[in-house]
Structures are given as C-alpha cells and as structure tokens.
Structure 1
Amino acid sequence: MPAGPRNLITDVPGILVGNAQDMALRSGVSVLTAARPFVAGVHVMGGAPGTRETDALAPDRLVQEADALVLSGGSAFGLSAASGVADALRAQGRGFDVGGQKVPIVPAAILFDLLNGGDKGWDENPYAALGAAALGAASDDFALGTAGAGTGATTAGLMGGLGSASEVLPSGHTVGALVAVNALGSATVGEGPHFWAAPFEVGDEFSGLGPAPSYPTEHPTKLAAHREATTIAIVATDAALTQAQATRMAIAAHDGMARALVPSHTPFDGDLVFAAATGTKPLADPLTDLLTLGHAASTALARAIARGVYLATDDGGAPLPTWCARHAN
C-alpha cells in the first residue's frame, strides 16, 4: 500500500504531533492530539509497562474518547509529562465535562532511558514542562529520529529514535504509526545494516537495502546491555471505530513490532500500542475493513520502527552508534 504524502501519522486528517526534548537530559516527550476528542484504545504486550490512564481506554468504561496521547522518556518520572499536557489542555477549555469542570483525558506510556548518559540529576521533575512544550508544538509536520520521546532511546547495539509512517488503503482510509523505539532487541539483522522490517519498506524510506541475504536461525544473543527497555507506539486512522474496534487495531499493530524488532515483547520491555480513530470515514464492511486496518497498522508500525532507528543522529554524546554512523557509506 502506498504511503501518504508526508509518510507520517499526521497523514491521518486532523491528527497533530508535537515533540519536545532536552539534549542535556537526553530525553523527551511526543504528544499526539487533534482538534476534537478521538476514540482511543490500547494494548500492552511487554512485561514491564509504565502507563497512566490506560484503564480508562477499556471498551466498557464511561469515557470513550481521549484528548491527547503521550509517549515519554524518563521511566516512571516521565508520566508527569501527561500532567503537563492535561494542565495545558484544561487552560484551553478542553476535557471531559463533569458538572462544568473540564478534565482532559490524557493516557500516557513511558520508556526507560535513565542509563543513556544524560544528566538525570534534576531538582525538579522536568517532564511536565516537556509535555506542555510538546503539546504546544503540535503540528502536521514533526521531526523523526533523535527527537521527542525517541531522543535518548536505544536498541541492541544502535541508537533508537522516533519513527513514523503512513499507508493509504484501497478503501480510502488512512492509517499511520508513531513510535519511540527503545528496545531490548535489535531492529537490524545480526551485525549487518539490513532491517528486519525490510520486506515492508516503501521506496528507500530506511536505506532501500532490501532484505538481508541470510537470517540467523539460532536464538538472538544481541540484546541491549541493560535489561530495561520499552517500545511505545500509537497507530491512528480516520476510520469510524468503536473503542473495541480501536483496541483490536492496537492488538493487530503489535504484529508490526514483532516483525521489526527481534526479540520483542520480552519480560524486560513494556511494549505498548495505543490506537486513535478520528471517525471521519465510516466502514463500508466492518469485518473486512477492520481486518485491513489492523494489517495496515502492523505494516506501518514495522516501517516506523525502522525509520526511527535509521534517522537517529548523534550530537557527540550518544552512548551507542547510530545506524548511519555504523552503516552509511
């Protein structure tokens, strides 16, 4: 399926993404929002997640829509980013109305980047301010690689990063993915430059090298040096979905994570996928369209993961080489 015009999750009409990062801290925040609340779901596959308000996204809960979704570095400290976003949204008059009081619904997930060499000796938790700044930067265009929640992300042997990709379906629906790649496993095959996600690449969006000439058959031994990781993602569509259907799309998107990172969903990762649906285009065939949306979400996520690693940059203090430093000619 072809990519959208930007090859970003913001090819889904109405979706906006903002990044904020602190290079001394070597961490950051990415926020997805829209002009109006959107249906949201979530699914967790990793064994060590860190989350806020994900229980509110279950299909049987009172609130069926969110105002923003937050991806943050900082481990548990990064959950404060959602407070910064919620405060800023409330100041804008956004949120679920409870007797005249506006309560923004801002589910969040965090990744572990506390051992990447950045200055973590803060006196005041910096993530609320980073969250508000990321919301303030929300736009239909945003940086990838060493940006936002991917600023200090790492994988097994290479720097991780923030990735995004989109696909336009024959039905006319658009699906996009946004991901902060901070994995225990690897996005590349062995010590070579080829990405596990290569079969799904569109053009040369992450090198154009194609699949690896051979694949290992033994158990993977290439793992991140520390056993704390997590890849956190959002998949979005303009399809009109219920919360249950959005959750199903998030579940399907995990296939893309498993195709792009080896291993994934380990006990040491908090791997999680949010889903967002703006609801502007109805489903013609709910069963077939939901299947297609889920498959597109998985392939877009696989591509976004590879793009996040491929586009990472080094300001001179990165704890690991970038893909380009190791493999680009």
Structure 2
Amino acid sequence: MKNLLTDIAGVRVGHAHDAKLASGTTAIVFDQPAVAAIDVRGGGPGTREDTLLDLASTQDRVDAIALSGGSAFGIEAGGGVQAWLAEQGRGLNIRGALIPLVPGAILFDLLNGGDKAWGRFAPYRDLGYAAAVSAGTEFALGSIGAGLGATTATFKGGLGSASAVTSSGITVAALIAVNAVGSATVGDGPWFWAAPFEVDGEFGGRGLPDKFTNDMLRMRIKGGPAVTERENTTIGVVVTDAVLTKPQAKRLAMIAHTGFARAIYPVHAPTDGDVLFAAATCVKPIDPIAGLTELGMVAANVVARAIARGIYSATALPFPGALPAWKDRFG
C-alpha cells in the first residue's frame, strides 16, 4: 500500500502542468473500463460528460477521468486524455468505431497570479494529453497537476491522495484536488479538520486543539464579504476494487462526499463546485447492504485524509501576495 489512488490495481495517474500558467491537469486512467458515477454538491460546478454518468443513461463504464484547473477552459483536458486513449485503441466499440469515454471536472484557478494570456486556444487539451501519457502507478502530491494552482481560504491548496482496506478486504482510495472557498485547517492554527481520521502522521500528526474557541469556528472564506461566484471548487475521485453496479457507485459517491464535510469548513458553498466521481474496477464481490455501507464509511474517511494531505503537501506559488503553504508556517 502506497497510500495512493494507485493502490487499486489497474488504475494509473498522471500529471501535467505549466509553472508559468500556474495551472495543470491530472488524468486517472483505468486499464479496463470501470463502472462510474458522479455526485455534485457545490453551487458552481463545471463538468464534462456528467450526463453520461446519470443513472438513467445507458452506458455504465468509462475509460478515464480528467481533473483540471482552468475553470471552463479546463474542460478541454478531457479531450486530450480522450485523444491519447484513441491512439491506444481504447474506447466504447460501436460497430468498429471506438469512442473513449472520459468524464471530467474543473476547478477555478484563473486569479492565482499565473499568466493566463494563452492566446486563441487554452492549453488544457495538450495538458490532458500529456497527463495521460505520463500516467503510472507512482505520482506526486501537493502543488502538481490539477492541484498546482489550487488555493483555500487560508493556505495554498493542492492535490492529495489516500487509501484504506475495509474489514472484508475491499480496497478503496481517493484522489482530490483541493481548491475550496473554505479552509482545511482549524482557525489560524496547524490543526486539520480531518485530524480524527489521520493515519500514521500522514499530514503532520498535530491532532485537534484542546478546545474550540468562537474564533476557530468563525467563517473563513476566500474574498471574505466580497466573495464572488465560481472561484473555487474541490474535485476528485474515489475508486474501489469492489464489484459495483452503477447505482451502487452513485451511492458510494454520495456517502464518500461526506469526507468533504469532515475536512473542509465551510463546504459545498454557493461559490464551490464540489464534484466527486466514484469508480469501481469490479474485482471483489461485496455485500450490497452492510458491505456497501462500510465501504462508503471508509471511503469518506479516505476522502477526508486525501484533502488534508493535499494541503499538507502543497508548496506556495512564486507570485507576489501568494498564499503561504501549510509547511511554510508550521513546518
């Protein structure tokens, strides 16, 4: 176990980003098509192929998932991942026509100090392609890929991942790009909201404060009273090796989404676009009631841990006025 999304066999992750742009893309590639669903909780989401994942839609498997910065421009990252898959001969086969299926989601990082004057066409399709090319079982966390330009209310955001195994031997893992309007830490201190779920000091081992004050519980959001729409969003994917149907994957996404609430304060705001995909590689059978309930419970914990790891692993952007990283202040 590497405590990464790629602890699920048959899943690979790749990053591509541009330091001058201060934005990037992350590709999650499945070696075999995976059952997938989506759950959207934020007020300003940006997605690709979300209708494909609706329970009323016929197709239940996808080839990859694209996460990207760039707001609506970043939706093109999925096209880059799709192009790479097509070159590999991957995709839904309709009488010989291969169509790679690549849902995706984006976060807003257009005002983080990077140079977004890219000319006529945004670079995200090329970044998506490069991310897919680089996909493997080892990948970095923090300010990289879709998390390069991410921020939160108090510290630099980033990309995190975590994994766990249920009591019945089902593996579940998450990868999250954290760009929340709220904060992943308590007040002005070093404590992560996700602290009760931390494993082996994976995000500093600071625990929670001895007591909570009113100041710790007050709202800290980007922009304060001047907060505007669509400048945020936490996006990610939770993957399991359990055998799930599409409706069961939807339920997994819904339960796992509570991990956002365990790690971000406040969460699912009107100015967030919080999106969580759930995917299953369908290797190990699972009890449809108790087994799925435990899987969702553990998945929510894993999501919370991944969020905290994304902040913990991040590094500050090299621009005037950029938010500090957690490690800049608390080491």
Instruction: Render the CA deviation track for 1:123-147: whole Å, top value 9, x for unaligned.
Output: 1210000000101111111010001
Matches within 5 A, 1:61-76: 61-76=57-72
Q: Which residue of 1 aligns with 2:250?
A: 247
Post-superposition CA distance 1:252-294 (Å, at most 9, x none): 11110001000000000000100010001111x2100100110
The answer to whether residue 39 in structure 2 is matched with residue 43 in structure 1 is: yes
Q: Evaluate the alpha carbon distance shift between residue 315 and residue 76 of structure 1 in structure 2; reply closer, same or farther with a 3 A threshold.
A: closer
Where does residue 129 of structure 2 map in the other structure? 132
Provide the alpha-carbon RMSD of the alignment. Answer: 1.2
Q: Is the 8 A contact 1:186 1:222 kept in 2?
A: yes
Cα deviation digits, residues 105-127 of structure 1 (max 9, x gap)? 10010000000000000012100
Distance apart, 1:86 and its partner CA: 0.8
Q: Offset at 1:209?
A: 0.7
Residue pairs, 1:30-109, within 5 angstroms: 30-109=26-105
In the superposition, the TM-score normalised over structure 2's length comes to 0.95
Shift of 1:310: 0.4
- 2:277 and 2:252 map into 1 onto residues whose CA distance is 9
> Which one-letter code corresponds to 1:230 in the other structure?
T
Partner of 1:12: 8
Q: Distance in 1 between matches of 2:310 and 2:7?
A: 17
Regions of 4+ moved over 6 Å: none
1:268 equivalent to 2:271? Answer yes
Q: Which amino acid in 1 is paired with 2:90? A: R
The reply on whether 1:177 has 2:174 as its aligned counterpart is yes
Shift of 1:213: 2.1
Q: Distance in 1 between matches of 2:108 and 2:94?
A: 34
Give the TM-score, by structure 1 length: 0.96
Report the 3-state secondary structure (helix = DSSP H, G, I; strand = E; otherwise coil) of the residue aligned with 2:261. Answer: helix
Which residue of 2 is the match for residue 194 of structure 1? 191
Consecutive unaligned residues of structure 1, counting only runs of 5 or more, are none
Between the aligned partners of 2:133 and 2:275, the Cα distance in structure 1 is 25
- Note if 1:22 corresponds to 2:18: yes
Letter in 2 for 1:205: E
Indicate which of 108, 132, 143 corresponds to 1:146.
143
- Whether the 8 Å CA contact 2:317–2:323 is kept in 1: the answer is no
Please tell me the residue identity of whatever aligns with 1:125.
A
In the other structure, the counterpart of 2:222 is 224
d(CA) in 2 for partners of 1:298, 1:264: 14
CA distance in 2, matches of 1:266, 1:216: 23
Structure 2 counterpart of 1:299: 301
How far apart are 1:215 and its partner, in Å?
A: 2.4
2:289 aligns with 287
Contact 1:163 1:309 in 2 (8 A): yes
Q: For residues 83 and 305 of structure 2, what CA distance do their matches in structure 1 show?
A: 33
| SS, match of residue 283 in structure 2 | strand
Residues of 2 paired with 1:216 and 1:302: CA distance?
Answer: 23
* SS of residue matched to 1:117: coil
Aligned residues: 323
Moved more, 107-116 or 207-216: 207-216
